[in-house]
Every structure is written in C-alpha cells, then in structure tokens.
Amino acid sequence: MKHLLLKFTFVLSLLFSSTAMSADFPTKEPMGGQPFGHSVKKVSDGLYVFRWWVYRNIFMVTDEGVIVTDPLNPKAAKLLRNEIRKITDKPVKYVVYSHNHHDHISGGNIFKEEGAKFIGHKNILKELGDHPSAVTPLPDITFDSEYTLQLGGRTIELKYFGPNHGESLVVMMLPKEKILFVVDIVTPRRVAFRSMPDFWPDEWIRSLKEIEQLDFDYVISAHGPENQPAIDPAAVVKEQRMYLEDLIAAVKVEWDKGTHSPDKLRKLVKLPKYKHWRSYEQWLPMNVERIWAYLHMGW
C-alpha cells in the first residue's frame, strides 16, 4: 500500500512538475483560501467585468468587434473567450495590456490566433524582452504617454503616469462612461500586496495623485474575490493613496524613534484604521518591511 501510495505521489509530482510551466498555469492550490472560479458581470452598455479567481479584466463588445484587456493566463483566457462567444460572434480586435507582469498578461495567444492586435506601453517591449514568455505575445502597437483606442463608436483612453509598478503600467479610461480600469496600483479595501513587489512607494503615491485629477466617477480594479463589488466609486483611488501615506508615516514614526530593525518594525507598526481591509493581518507586516527598505535604502 505504502509502495503504491509512493508511486501515486511520484506520478502526481511528475504531472505537476511537467505542467507547472505549461499553458495551464497555475495548476497549484489557490493561495489565500479563495477558490478558483470565474464570473462575468455586465456593468454598462457593452462593458463587462470578467473575474477569474481574484483577478479581473474588462472587455467591451462593440458592433465592430471586441476589445479585451489583460488576458490573465492561458486557462482564464480560454474561459474568457468562451464567455465572449456567448455574448457576441464578433471577433476580438484588440487586446490591451495594463503592464508587464506575467500574472496579468499571459494567455493572449488565443486572441492572437483570431487576428487581434495587441497594445501596450512602449516600455513593455524591453520588459518582456528581458523576461520573455511563450504565452505572452508582444504588443503590435506601443505608445508613450497616451493612446486613444476607438472601435465601433466606443473609446478607451490609455494613460501612462511613469514608473510606479513596473515601468509600463497604464490605466484605462472610458470617457463616456466615466469609468477607470486600473490594475494593481488600486486594490479597494485591501492592504498592499505582500512586500509590494516591483512597487515604488514615492512614484506610486505621485501617480495616484495625478490619476485622482482625471474625470471619472467609477473604478474597476483588477483584484478582488467574488464577494467584492465589480465596480467602486472614484474615492477608492484617494483611499489607496491615503493608505500608502499612512503606512509610510506610521513606519517613519517608529524609525524616527530609532527602531531600524525590519523585524521589530514588522511587529510594532499597526494601522488600526485599516483593520477591516482584506489581508490586513497577513500582509501589513510585509508592507511595513517594504517601507523599511524604502527608508533604509532610499527607494
């Protein structure tokens, strides 16, 4: 029996190791207790939010075809393609990348095969050149500060605010609907992601201040489990900035008292105002350590 079990485990591990980097990423257990699963919500005329696990994108259905944003990963992209097919038989004409990170923009081949053009900030070419992926087609169209995408009488404005999370993150504005789609730099009612990988606190805050000046009433953000709203009021951008400012200020208070050990700071710094935000207990100490690095090393 033990022998059989070992054999079974071995076969399983082979299966998982051979598929770990395959087109079906991710194959492992979901993190954070949120089950895998997907859903589609219509939020405006022709505008849909697609959720896969804790990731979201938007897609827009027009008379001349479909605009898709971040395909997420091959598994999610396949599900997304099927969901779009239930709504329209028009082809996907454009895929817009929010930024360079593989967890958001893998899996676009399925849309490439039907002739979609890919759009992203120009810096993404170098970032994806340095970290290529077989399941992430390079953009066909790149731009510097702004790009206006029009299809079937609908408009999406792509806006770049400089480096903040990676060096290619763009936000997507739907001017008629006054909706902003924003990935990773705004996560309503959730503390910052773990140790803030590839986030630069100063530039992040600066970008959010600039984004707050745009003319929008609603925000669709790219992270949140199923029980979180698909669409939020514009105020969540300011709330995100205030969280970061409060986090930096709280770490600095302890720093100025002479506490320079990241381990001590992780234990000492609390932000009770945000206690009800998702992942507060697990990720606040990691957020604190990121700010320690910012104070200690200067970035």
What residues make contact with Zn ion under the rule CB under 5 A? 101, 184
List the structure tokens of 184: 């990773």
Residue 100 beta carbon to Zn ion: minimum distance, rounded to whole angstroms: 8
Residue 104 beta carbon to Zn ion: minimum distance, rounded to whole angstroms: 6
Q: In terms of Cα–Cα distance, which of 124, 43, 48 is closest to 87? A: 48
For residues 296 and 299, give the distance between their C-alpha atoms in angstroms, rounded to a whole number. Answer: 8
List the structure tokens of 33: 């207790």
* Closest CB to Zn ion among residues 151, 221: 221
For residues 255 and 267, give the distance between their C-alpha atoms in angstroms, rounded to a whole number. Answer: 13
* Closest CB to Zn ion among residues 127, 177: 127
For residues 268 and 250, give the distance between their C-alpha atoms in angstroms, rounded to a whole number. Answer: 10
* Closest CB to Zn ion among residues 84, 236: 236
* Closest CB to Zn ion among residues 221, 269: 221
> CA distances (Å), 140 to each of 67, 115, 280, in order?
14, 11, 40
Handedness of CA 102, 97, 245, 237 (dihedral sign): negative
Residue 47 beta carbon to Zn ion: minimum distance, rounded to whole angstroms: 23
Residue 284 beta carbon to Zn ion: minimum distance, rounded to whole angstroms: 20
* Closest CB to Zn ion among residues 211, 250: 211
Residue nearest to Zn ion (CB): 101
The total of other beta-carbon atoms located within 10 Å of residue 209's CB is 13
Q: In terms of Cα–Cα distance, which of 77, 75, 37, 40 is closest to 61? A: 40
Residue 190 beta carbon to Zn ion: minimum distance, rounded to whole angstroms: 14
List the structure tokens of 152: 């079937």
For β-strands 146-151 and 154-160, DSSP reports them as antiparallel
Residue 165 beta carbon to Zn ion: minimum distance, rounded to whole angstroms: 5
* Closest CB to Zn ion among residues 184, 289: 184
